[in-house]
Structure 1
Amino acid sequence: MTDNTNGPDYGYASTSSPTPLSFLGLLELPTELIDTILSYLTPLELVQLSLTWRELFVAHNQYWFLTKYKLWFCDRSLAGQIILARYDGRRGCIEGYQLLATRSRDGSEPWIADPTVHVHYFEPTVKLHLDKPILQFNVDSLENLMRISLSSRETATRPARRFFPEHPMRYSHGADPRFSTFVLAKPLDERDLADHMDEWFPYGLVWPPPTIPAAHRVLGHPADIAGGPTHELISSPRWRPIDRSEVSNLTFRVRQWIELGPPTVGFHIGEEIVTYSTIDPYFYTPTPERPWRGIWVGDYSVHGCEFLLINQPDVQEEGYQEPLVKLESESDEEFHARFLAKKVHRGRLEAIKLTGDPNVPRGEYTFLAEDLGEDGFVGIAQGPPFQGARIVESQGHIAGAGFTNDKYIKSQLILISHDRLAQYWVNFGHISFFERVDIDQFLVPS
C-alpha cells in the first residue's frame, strides 16, 4: 500500500462557454488575473463582490472538492464505474457523469511478424453518459434554498454554515426512478486501517484498494461482494463525519434506491451504497521522465472497453542526480537517445484497472512491466504495425469468473508511443491495444 501526500495539488477552475462574440467572462480568466483584479478593490467593494457569490457558495460549499479532483472511481460490483465531476457555470450546477467507451470497430488481422498471432483492431470512442447523471447539485434545489434561507437568518446564538453529512440529490431528468443521497465520508485512521485491511481481495472492503496510491481510505460495501447495504457506514460516528474537520475530500458515498409508494411512507427496494475515491493528479499527469502516466482505455475483447490508471512510480535515486544536459559534441538525436536510456526507459510500469469485469475486477493490476530498461528489454519491433517500437517483458493478469484462481502469465509490452501501447498476450496468441484518455476535454459543458 502506497500513500503519497507530497504530490502537487492540482485544482480545476471551471469555465462557462464563450459567448457568441467570444467575450471572456470573469470565471474564464486565469486565476492569477482574477487575483490581480481583486487586489485593486477596496474593502467595501470586496464585501459587495462576496455577497454576489454568497448564495452559490452556501449551495455548493460542501461539494467543491468534487470538481477540484474531477475524476472518481467506485467499488460498485466487480466492474466498478468511473465518473467525471464538473461545474456548469451557466446553470450553477455541479454534476457527475459516467465515463463510457465503445469500440468503433471489431475484428483482428494476422501479425505480419508472426501470422499465428492476431492483432485486434482498437479505435475507441470515449464519451460521457449525459442522459443519466450520477451526481447532481442544483443551486436552485429545494434543499439549497432552505439552507440559504436558514443561513441568512443565523444569529450569534445559532452557528452559521450548518454541517450536513448526507444530502438528497434531485435529478432533473423526470423519468429517472432513482432516489439518491450524497454521503460525506470519514477517512480511516491508521489503527482502523490496520484492523480492516486484508492482504487479499477484497482487502477487508477498504476503498480504494492497495494498488491505488491514496492519502485517504474508507470502508466500502459493494453489495455483490459483501451482501446487502449496511447503514452503519452512514449512521455511525465511527465512519461518518460529525463536523467539517472529519470530512474526507478524497472519498464519498452515494446511497440510492427505488421507492415504492408515496415519498417518506413507501418502502425501499434495490438499495445500495457505492463508495467513490479519487486519484491525486500527480499519479496520472505525464512528465518528460514518466511519459506513460495517465488515464487510459483498453480493449478487453468480449468484456468491451475498460479504463485504467497507468502509474509509473518514481525511481529512487542514490544521492543527488545532476539533470541531463546536452553535450557540445552531441547531436540532438544522440542526446535524445541518452535521455531515453537514462531517464525514461527505466523503472516499473503498472496498469491498474479503474473499471473491471467478472474475471479481473476494478482495482486490480491488469499487467505489469517490472523494468522498462535493459533488464526488461526484449527488442525493437522491425515490422508494421509496430515498426521501431521498444518491446519489454511484462506480466498479464488473468483469472476465472468471480476473480478466482488468478495468476500472472507471460506477456510483452509494446511501447508504440506515449499515447498508445500494445500488450502481446503470448500464451493467448493475440495483441490488444491501450490508448490515453484526455479527460479534460469532458470537463467544460458544451
Structure 2
Amino acid sequence: PPLLATPPEIIDTILSHLSAYDLASVSATCHALRQHALSDLLWQPLVQQNVPAVQVTSTGACKSYRELYAAHDRLWFLPKYKIWFCDRDLTGKLILVRYDPRRSCIEGYQLVAVSNQSTFEHWSADHDVIIHGFEPVVRLHLDKPVLQFRVRDRQEDGGFSSRPGANRFADEMPMVLDERLGGMFSNFMLTKPLSSEEADQRVELGYPYGNMWPSPVIPANHYVSGAQTPRSLASLTPRDRPRTRSQVSDQTFCIRQWMELTGTPGPLRFMGQGGLAGALQALVEEIVEEEAAGAGAGAGGLGVHIGEELITYSTLDPALYTPTREKPWRGIWVGDYSAHGCEFLLIHQPDDPPATDAELGIFRDENDSDEEWEQKRLDARVYRGRLEGIKLTGDPNIPRGEYTFVANDLGPDGYVRTATDTQFSGARIVKSEGHIAATGFLRATDKYIESQLILISPNKLAQHWVGFGHISFLERVNIDQLLVP
C-alpha cells in the first residue's frame, strides 16, 4: 500500500498527530503499522503532555511508554490539570496532583499554609486601622496523600475490573494510600457532567445549587452532581455515572471514603491471602458468589461502612489562573483570614471587550516618548475591568466556592487614590466589596460591606475592611514549584 511505502520517519510524523486512542487503533491494523504505533518516540510525548513541570525521561516501573500510558489510562487528566478543590463541608480542600516519574505514580496531596507572622501595626494613613502582618508558608501535606495510583495497583486488581458486569468507567477504583491505617478505605470515581440545562436549573435554586459542584460562582467547563449531604450517596443515581469514555468528565471526580472497625467483615480479613492482589482476588470471588446467590452489593461479607462520605472535586481552566500582561493578578492566592487561618483563593479577572485608546480615554501628549506612551496604553488596560476573589477553601462564615470580595472596576470608576503612606507608597487603591455572613453561611445574613483593595504588586494584594478597621494581605502561590517530587 502507498502508506507503507512512505519513508518510516514520515509515517512516524503522521502518527505523532494522533491521540493515544487513535494510535492504539492503528496498532491493530497490520504488523507493519503496529511496529510504528508501539514506538516510544510516539508514546513518550503522550505521557509528557499530561505531566506539567516534570520532564519524563524514564518509563519507571513499566517496560515502555505505551505500557506506562495504558497503566494510568483514565487518570492522566489528574496531573494534567493539577489543581483540584472540593466540596467537603464548608471549608473544602485544595489538592495538587502530580506525577512522580521515579515510582511511575500519580499522587495528590493537600495544599496547606500557615503564617509565621502575627504582628500588628497601625496604618500611618489612618491610625484607627490595624495592619495584620502576613508571611505565609505554603507546602504540600506529604504525610497524608489524598489520592495515589501506582502502576502495580492498577495491574494487580485481583480480577475486579474483569468481573461479570464490570464497567471500567462507572466502577469505583480502590486506592491503597501509603498512610492508610487498618480499616480506612478510599475509592476513586469518574464522573459524568450535567447537561447545560440541568446546571442552569440548579443555579436557579440558589445556594447550595442543588448540590452541584463546583459552585456557579467559579467559571467551569463541567458541573456535576454531588451528594445531598457529605455522608450520603443516595442522591447519585446510575445516570450520574459515566458508562463510556465519551461520557467521562476530565474536569471533575469523586472520592468515596469510609472506615471499617477492626473485626467487621471486609477486605482486611483477606490480607493474608497473597498480599493486596490476593486479597482483592478473594474479595472479588466473594462478591461474585454473593451476586450469584442473589445478595445485593455490599451485603453480608462487605460489612458496615462507618463515617462514609462522598467528596466531589473540580479543577480550573488554566487560563483562569495564568497571569497575562493586561491581567497580571490572575492566579492562585493565599489570604489571611484572622482566626480562620490561611485560605486559598482564585483571583479571577474576566476578559474585557476590546477597546480603542480613545474609548479608554487616553491620548498621546506631544511630550510623551514612545516608552511613556506605550506604558500609558498598558496602564489603561491593566487598570480596567473587574477583579474577583473567589474562595477555593473556605470557613464557617463564607464557604468554598463563594466570593470573598469583589472590585467592580480597577479603572477610573473604582479609583480611590494612590497611596502616599510609608506602608503602601505608590499602590493603587480601588473600591471593593467584602462578603460577610453569620456562622453556617446563613443566606439571610450574608451581605457585602464597604472595603478597599490595595494593588501592591502582581504578587501581593491587601484588603482594607473599612467597617472592621483592619487590613489583611494576600499573596500569590507558586504552584509549579510544588509539582516536582
Q: TM-score range by the shorter chain?
A: 0.7 to 0.9
What whole-Å deviation, never above 9, does each CA across 1:23-66 have from its counterpart, x for those lacking one? xxxxxxxxx9xx79xxxxx9636525367123322221010000
What whole-Å deviation, never above 9, does each CA across 1:282-320 have from its counterpart, x for those lacking one? 011000000000000000000000000000001122689
Partner of 1:360: 398
What whole-Å deviation, never above 9, does each CA across 1:247-280 have from its counterpart, x for those lacking one? 0000110000001223253311000000000000
Q: Is residue 87 of structure 1 aligned with residue 79 of structure 2?
A: no
Residue 227 of structure 2 contacts residue 234 of structure 2 at CA under 8 Å; is this kept in 1? Answer: no
Secondary structure at 1:229 match in 2? coil
C-alpha separation between the residues in 2 aligned to 1:219 and 1:164?
15
| Counterparts of residues 337-348 of structure 1 (less than 5 Å) | 337-348=375-386
C-alpha separation between the residues in 2 aligned to 1:325 and 1:140?
65
Residue type of the alignment partner of 2:133: Y
The offset of 1:145, in angstroms, is 2.8
| Counterparts of residues 249-264 of structure 1 (less than 5 Å) | 249-260=250-261, 261-264=264-267
Q: Is residue 279 of structure 1 aligned with residue 290 of structure 2?
A: no
Partner of 2:232: 229
Partner of 1:214: 220
What whole-Å deviation, never above 9, does each CA across 1:95-128 have from its counterpart, x for those lacking one? 0100001011113111111111100000000000
Residue type of the alignment partner of 2:111: L
The offset of 1:360, in angstroms, is 0.5
1:380 to 1:162, Cα distance in 2 relative to 1, 3 A: closer
More off after superposition, 336-345 vs 285-294: 336-345
Residue type of the alignment partner of 1:417: S
Q: Is residue 178 of structure 1 aligned with residue 188 of structure 2?
A: no
**Among 38, 53, 68, which residue is 1:47 paired with?**
38
C-alpha separation between the residues in 1 aligned to 2:393 and 2:367?
49
C-alpha separation between the residues in 1 aligned to 2:450 and 2:69?
53
C-alpha separation between the residues in 1 aligned to 2:323 and 2:227?
32
Partner of 2:152: 140
More off after superposition, 390-399 vs 172-181: 172-181
| Counterparts of residues 33-432 of structure 1 (less than 5 Å) | 44=35, 47-49=38-40, 52-141=64-153, 143-146=154-157, 163=169, 165-175=171-181, 177-221=183-227, 223=229, 228-233=231-236, 236-260=237-261, 261-264=264-267, 265=301, 266-317=303-354, 330-331=368-369, 334-335=372-373, 337-404=375-442, 405-432=445-472
Residue type of the alignment partner of 2:478: D
Secondary structure at 2:38 match in 1? helix
1:318 to 1:417, Cα distance in 2 relative to 1, 3 A: closer
C-alpha separation between the residues in 2 aligned to 1:322 and 1:332?
20
The offset of 1:167, in angstroms, is 0.6
Secondary structure at 2:64 match in 1? helix
**TM-score (normalised: structure 2):** 0.75
Residue type of the alignment partner of 2:403: Y
C-alpha separation between the residues in 2 aligned to 1:149 and 1:238?
22
C-alpha separation between the residues in 2 aligned to 1:271 and 1:328?
71
1:321 to 1:286, Cα distance in 2 relative to 1, 3 A: farther
More off after superposition, 273-282 vs 255-264: 255-264
Q: Aligned pairs, how many?
A: 396
Residue 461 of structure 2 contacts residue 473 of structure 2 at CA under 8 Å; is this kept in 1? Answer: yes
What whole-Å deviation, never above 9, does each CA across 1:199-253 have from its counterpart, x for those lacking one? 42111111111111111001122636xxx412452xx331000111100000110
Identity %: 55
Q: Greater CA radius of gyration, 1 or 2?
A: 2
Partner of 1:442: 482
Secondary structure at 1:129 match in 2? strand
The offset of 1:391, in angstroms, is 0.4
C-alpha separation between the residues in 2 aligned to 1:220 and 1:212?
16
Residue type of the alignment partner of 1:220: G
The offset of 1:130, in angstroms, is 0.5
The offset of 1:340, in angstroms, is 3.9
Residue 357 of structure 2 contacts residue 363 of structure 2 at CA under 8 Å; is this kept in 1? Answer: no
1:94 to 1:231, Cα distance in 2 relative to 1, 3 A: farther
Residue type of the alignment partner of 1:439: I
Residue 165 of structure 1 contacts residue 241 of structure 1 at CA under 8 Å; is this kept in 2? Answer: no
What whole-Å deviation, never above 9, does each CA across 1:1-39 have from its counterpart, x for those lacking one? xxxxxxxxxxxxxxxxxxxxxxxxxxxxxxx9xx79xxx
Structure 2 stretches lacking a partner, 5+ long = 1-12, 18-31, 44-62, 268-300
1:256 to 1:335, Cα distance in 2 relative to 1, 3 A: same
1:48 to 1:341, Cα distance in 2 relative to 1, 3 A: closer
1:267 to 1:423, Cα distance in 2 relative to 1, 3 A: same
C-alpha separation between the residues in 1 aligned to 2:359 and 2:317?
27
The offset of 1:144, in angstroms, is 2.5
Secondary structure at 2:156 match in 1? helix
What whole-Å deviation, never above 9, does each CA across 1:78-111 have from its counterpart, x for those lacking one? 0000000000010010001000010111131111
Determine which structure has greater relative contact order: mean sequence separation of CA pairs < 8 Å that are 6+ residues apart, divided by chain length: 1
Residue 58 of structure 1 contacts residue 147 of structure 1 at CA under 8 Å; is this kept in 2? Answer: no
